[in-house]
Amino acid sequence: MAAQTELSGLQIIEKVYNRPEGDDMQGDLMMTLINSRGNQRIREIKQFIKNFGEMEKKIMFFISPADVRNTSFMNWSYDQAGKDDDQWIYLPALKKVKRISSDSRSDHFMGSDFTYDDLGDRHPSDDNHNLLREETINGEACYVVESIPKDDEYMYSRTITWTIKDKWIGLKKEFYDEDGELLKTLTVKKFSQIKGIWIIMMSEMHNVQKEHTTKMQLSNVILNSGIPANKFTERMMRRGLK
Amino acid sequence: MKKQILIRFGLVFIGLALIGQLEAQSLSWTGYVRNYMGVLLQNENEYSIIQNTVNLNLELSKNKVAFKVNPYIYQYPGFQPETGLREAYLDIYLNSIDFRIGKQQIIWGKADGVFITDIISPKDLSEFLLRDFDEIRMGVTAVKADYYFGNNTFELVWIPQFAATKMPAENSIWSPKMDFPIQPVMDNSRRQVAATLQNSEIFAKLSGLTSALDFEIMAGYMWDDDPTLYTAKTLDPQSLQLNHLTITPEHKRLGLAGGSFSTTLKGFVVRGEGAFYTGKHFATNSTSLASVFMEKNYFHYLLGLDFTLWNIHMSSQFIQQMILDYETPIIANERENTLTFLATGDFLRETLHAELFAYIGLNNSDALIRPRIRYNLTDAFELLLGANIFLGDEGRFGQYDENDMVYTKIKYSF
């Protein structure tokens, strides 16, 4: 226990980044978008992720709403520092797989409160990290780490993460805008251990400035089932879930 | 007639519903109903279109077999409904090979809004280029086989019977302007390509999707979608003035070899596409030549750049068509240059979508400007307000200078 308290902010965030995620994972993702008047919109996705060593491939099939059904999105991300993700989208109306730029990481994912960058694994070397304090929330002992981006143009001026000490899960995260004001709060509502691996099952992103919330729920999670490599190809983007 | 159409549609529904009862878990129903109204800004604000649409996508899959049927109805007030099947095909999935057999839309290439290697599916140009692209491309009966190896695909397409692009009706405001000294008589007796094995079309494509580059290399032996317009003139023996003109359209064979690529470069997506066509018959204005057509090869290519600026997604393309071994009697320009520009943005959590698309013809200084705004009242229900503005006096877009219009589309998806 004494050794753990000597960890630096960078080491804590690296442990979160390197937390085992399994060789592959599939599951159903449901996002509920709730505006300030309480109106809800639902987005449903089936996703598959596979680790190929120095690269990770992800494919998502959009199920609802009806006008995006059969759209698919594929992302290949790399451990190599500085190498951008490769991304493609299949639009069923155009019947085309289009390569898209991964430069738009500040875009909101399907109109939710999550940006593409919020959903990805931000590399620890992109920020300077300071351990602020230790704190217990929801009965979990946490490290509280402030992360300040090295890139001044980044969409957040800083983030603060509450990381559970023995599980290396970011239980809560605050995002501050360019003026230093609190913009969003991410709260993990439920996490489970499947085949010895911690998986975040339910989380909630609340935009405090716009009073808008997105609930994200993962279900039917299957880990290490041996998803074939050809799941992450143009063939499957076009074929969909058939 | 109307009754027969409804009965046919009903039978398709009943059949699919019965299958659906048996296979309820794997049958998927999606589609939309839509009202589309357009009004011209000139010509005393005539309606350019009033159209009601029902479009259904019915898909059933089980193990290694799937099928899809896409029936549609276009209803225009005062006219018989136009019904059809945009697609109706069967999929067979094997380990490394997929087959798709039946009426299908086949889309190739990396270009947006331009047809260079994307020439397999015939087009519905009855409303020029204004329809949504999934409606412009018509289904074509074909056998398509895809063989997969790694991240590469070899695709072979056989089209047993040529299907031509659908042109606007002669009295339509979208009928292309043709400069004839007198009103011609159309003779369509040679327009049809006989349905024989020898007259079928064949296409092949090798494509790959890799981290560095996406590419396609393709070839085709096909029929020219634009028929060659043979003319027969009769002169008045006394005045020697032209008194009769007959136009006889006839499709000709074309050979095609081409390719396309797409890659990312520091936040930009760079795209290119090109095709070399052989055997195109170009019309001439010569009266001394034995034939009023010259057979030439031509090159059609595009370079495009996609990027994002201030959260607005932008795309620009330069397109050139170049006739090789050009001779002056040919009416078409030796080089035909076009630019396209697209800017799109999503606002209010993707409930408001704004878009500006433009074709700019550089040879004739003409253009088609298409701004539109779409608002989603709910996830399923959208309102669209748009305009089509034609600039210039001549050229592909300028010829429709009188057809500027604003339009609305109200669409419910399910």
What is the predicted pLDDT for the residue at A3?
46
What CA–CA distance (Å, rounded) separates A39 from A163?
A: 32
Q: Residues A134, A135, A137, A139: is their CA dihedral positive or negative?
A: positive
Report helix, strand or coil for B241.
coil
Give me the number of domains chain A comprises. 1
What is the predicted pLDDT for the residue at B82?
93
What CA–CA distance (Å, rounded) separates A165 from B367?
A: 63
State yes or no: pLDDT of B23 exceeds 80: no
Tell me the per-residue pLDDT of B217-236, one tens digit each, with 9 for 90 and over: 999 999 998 888 887 777 77
Q: What mean pLDDT do residues B260-283 have?
A: 93
What's B266's DSSP letter?
Answer: T
**Beta-bridge mates of residue A97:** A90
What CA–CA distance (Å, rounded) separates B403 from B54?
A: 26
Token readout for B248 is 């006889």
Token readout for B314 is 């932008």
How does residue B7 score in pLDDT terms, banded at 50, 70 and 90? low
Q: Look at the block and give the residue holding tokens 């991410």.
A: A186
Token readout for B315 is 């795309």
From the candidates A234, A237, A238, A241, which should be mutated to test the interface with B, based on the most B CB atoms within 10 A?
A234
Question: Any residues with CB less than 8 A from the CB of B89 and at least 6 apart, and which?
Answer: B67, B68, B100, B101, B102, B103, B104
A104 touching chain B per CB within 8 A? yes
Cα–Cα distance list, B209 to A74, B3, B104, B206, B213 (Å): 11, 48, 23, 11, 6
How does residue B3 score in pLDDT terms, banded at 50, 70 and 90? low
Instruction: Tell if the CB–CB gap between A110 and B66 is shorter than 8 Å.
Output: no
Mean predicted lDDT score pLDDT of chain A: 91
Work out how many CB contacts closer than 8 A connect A with B: 96
**Beta-bridge mates of residue A30:** A44, A217
Residues of A whose CB is below 8 A from B93: 239, 242
Residues of B whose CB is below 8 A from A97: 209, 214
The identity of residue B250, as a single letter, is E
Tell me the per-residue pLDDT of B87-127, one tens digit each, with 9 for 90 and over: 999 999 999 999 999 999 999 999 999 999 999 999 999 99
Instruction: Write down the domain spans for chain B.
Output: 1-83
Task: Tell me the residue range of the domain where A109 lies.
Answer: 4-120+129-239
Other C-beta atoms within 10 Å of A150: how many? 9
Instruction: Tell if the CB–CB gap between B32 and A67 is shorter than 8 Å.
Output: yes
Q: Which residue of chain B has the CA closest to A242?
A: B61
CB A240 within 8 A of CB A61: yes
State the 10-residue block means of pLDDT for chain A, 242 residues long: 68 92 94 92 95 93 89 89 86 91 78 87 90 94 96 92 94 96 97 93 96 96 95 94 84
Burial B13-36 (b: 16+ CB within 10 A, else e): eeebeeebeeeeeebbebbbebeb
Q: What mean pLDDT do residues B331-338 have?
A: 93
Residues of A whose CB is below 8 A from B66: 242
Other C-beta atoms within 10 Å of B249: how many? 17
What is the predicted pLDDT for the residue at B242?
73
Q: Which residue has the higher pLDDT, B176 or A219?
A: A219
- Identify which of B257, B261, B256 has the alpha carbon closest to the alpha carbon of residue B273: B261
B66 touching chain A per CB within 8 A? yes
The C-alpha angle with vertex A45 and arms to A42 and A49, in degrees rounded to 5, equals 150
Q: Look at the block and give the residue holding tokens 């057509």.
A: B293
Residues of A whose CB is below 8 A from B382: 67
A46 touching chain B per CB within 8 A? no
What is the predicted pLDDT for the residue at A2?
43
Distance of CA A238 to the CA centre of its chain: 24
The identity of residue A117, as a single letter, is D
What does residue B396 show for φ and ψ, rounded to 5 degrees?
-60, -35
Q: Which residue of chain B has the CA closest to A231?
A: B151
**Beta-bridge mates of residue A77:** A56
Q: Look at the block and give the residue holding tokens 């913009």.
A: A183
How does residue B1 score in pLDDT terms, banded at 50, 70 and 90? low
The identity of residue A235, as a single letter, is R
CATH of residue A107: 2.50.20.10
Mean predicted lDDT score pLDDT of chain B: 89
The least confident of A99-103, B40-44, B259-263 is A99-103
What is the three-state SS of chain A? Answer: CCCHHHCCHHHHHHHHHCCCCCCEEEEEEEEEEECCCCCEEEEEEEEEEEECCCEEEEEEEEEECHHHCCCEEEEEEECCCCCCCEEEEEECCCCEEEEECCCCCCCEHHHCCCEHHHHCCCCHHHEEEEEEEEEEECCEEEEEEEEEECCCCCCCCEEEEEEECCCCCEEEEEEECCCCCEEEEEEEEEEEEECCEEEEEEEEEEECCCCEEEEEEEEEEEECCCCCHHHCCHHHHHHCCC
Q: Which residue has the higher pLDDT, B293 or A76?
A: A76
Q: What mean pLDDT do residues B248-261 have?
A: 94
- Identify which of A70, A74, A67 has the alpha carbon closest to the alpha carbon of residue A111: A67
Distance of CA B393 to the CA centre of its chain: 24
Is the preceding omega at residue A65 within 30 degrees of 0, hence cis?
Answer: yes
What is the predicted pLDDT for the residue at B12?
56
The least confident of B10-14, B81-85, B273-277 is B10-14
CB B341 within 8 A of CB B360: yes
What CA–CA distance (Å, rounded) separates A75 from A90?
A: 12
CB A101 within 8 A of CB B307: yes
What CA–CA distance (Å, rounded) separates B27 from B14?
A: 14
Question: Any residues with CB less than 8 A from the CB of A201 and at least 6 apart, and which?
Answer: A190, A191, A192, A217, A218, A219, A221
What CA–CA distance (Å, rounded) separates B318 from B320?
A: 7
What is the predicted pLDDT for the residue at A1?
43
Q: Which residue of chain A has the CA closest to B411?
A: A67
Does the pTM surpass 0.95? The reply is no
